[in-house]
Amino acid sequence: MAFSDIKGQDFAVRYLQSAIRKKRIPPTLLFVGKSGVGKFLTAITFAKALNCKEKEFDSCDRCESCVAIQNGVHPNVKVVGRKEKKISIDDVRGIIGSSFVPLKNGFKVNIMDSADKSTVQAFNSMLKYLEEPPENTVNILIAKNEDTIPETIRSRAVKVKFNPLGAKTIQRILTERGVESEKAYLISHVANGSMEEAERLLNDEVLQSRKEFIGTLLMFLKNEKTVPELVSKWDALHSDLTDRESAERFFDTLYETVNDILLVTVLREKENIVNIDFLGEIAERFFIIRKSALERIFDIISAEKKALLTNANARYIMMDGIFRVKEVIR
Ligand SMILES: [Zn+2]
Residue 235 Cα, ligand 1 centroid: separation in angstroms? Answer: 44
Question: What is the 35 CA–ligand 1 centroid distance (Å)?
Answer: 27
For the chain, what is the mean pLDDT? 92
Q: How far is CA 330 from CA 40, 171, 221, 259, 296, in A?
A: 43, 38, 9, 19, 13
Q: Where in the chain is the domain with CATH 1.20.272?
A: 203-329
Q: Strand order in 137-143's β-sheet?
A: 77-80, 108-112, 137-143, 28-32, 158-161
Domain(s) labelled CATH 3.40.50.300 in the chain stretch across 3-161
Q: What is the pLDDT of residue 288?
A: 79
69 C-alpha vs ligand 1 centroid, how far in Å?
9
pLDDT digits (tens, 9 = 90+) for 132-185: 888 889 999 999 989 889 999 999 999 999 999 999 999 999 999 999 999 999
Separation of 68 CA from ligand 1 center, angstroms? 9
Q: How far is the CA of 20 from the centre of ligand 1 (A)?
A: 14
Model pLDDT, residue 205: 92
Distance 107 CA to ligand 1 centre (A): 13
pLDDT at 233: 93
Q: Is 136 left (phi over 0), alpha (psi -120 to 50) or beta?
A: left
User: What percentage of the chain reaches a pLDDT higher than 70?
Assistant: 98
pLDDT tens string 198-233? 999 999 999 999 999 999 999 999 999 999 999 999
Phi and psi at 189, nearest 5°, equal -85, -50
HSE-up of residue 29 (Cα within 13 Å, Cβ side): 27
Return the minimum-mean-pLDDT range out of 91-100, 244-253, 277-286, 296-305.
Answer: 91-100
Ligand 1 center from residue 51 Cα (angstroms): 7
- Angle of helix 314-329 relative to helix 227-237, nearest 10 degrees, comes to 140
In which band, very low, low, confident or very high, does the pLDDT at 321 lie, cut at 50, 70 and 90?
very high
Burial of 27 per CB tally in 10 Å (0-12, 13-18, 19+): middle
Position 104 confidence tier, pLDDT thresholds 50, 70, 90: low
What spacing in Å lies between the alpha carbon of 282 and ligand 1's midpoint?
50
99 Cα to the center of ligand 1, angstroms: 22
Give residue 5 CA to ligand 1 midpoint distance, Å. 15
> pLDDT tens digits, residue range 17-73?
999 999 999 999 999 999 899 999 999 999 999 999 999 999 999 999 999 999 999
Q: How far out from the chain centre does Cα 224 lie? A: 32
Q: How much distance in Å is there from the Cα of 104 to the middle of ligand 1?
A: 14
pLDDT band for position 113 (cuts 50, 70, 90): very high
**Which DSSP category does 111 fall into?**
E
Higher pLDDT, 323 or 120: 323
Residue-wise DSSP of 138-200? EEEEEES-GGGS-HHHHTTSEEEE-PPPPHHHHHHHHHHTT--HHHHHHHHHHTTT-HHHHHH
Query: Is 3-161 assigned to CATH 3.40.50.300?
Result: yes
Cβ pair 137, 99 in contact under 8 A: yes
CA-based angle 7:25:128, to the nearest 5? 110
User: What is the CA(249)–ligand 1 centre distance, in A?
Assistant: 37
Determine how many CB atoms are found less than 10 A away from the CB of residue 102. 6
> What distance in angstroms lies between residue 77's CA and the mean position of ligand 1's atoms?
14
Question: 193 alpha carbon to ligand 1 midpoint, in Å?
Answer: 30
Q: How confident is the model at residue 286 (pLDDT cuts 50, 70, 90)?
A: confident
pTM: 0.86
At 252, the pLDDT band (50, 70, 90 cuts) reads: very high
pLDDT of residue 102: 54
Name the class of domain 203-329. Answer: mainly alpha
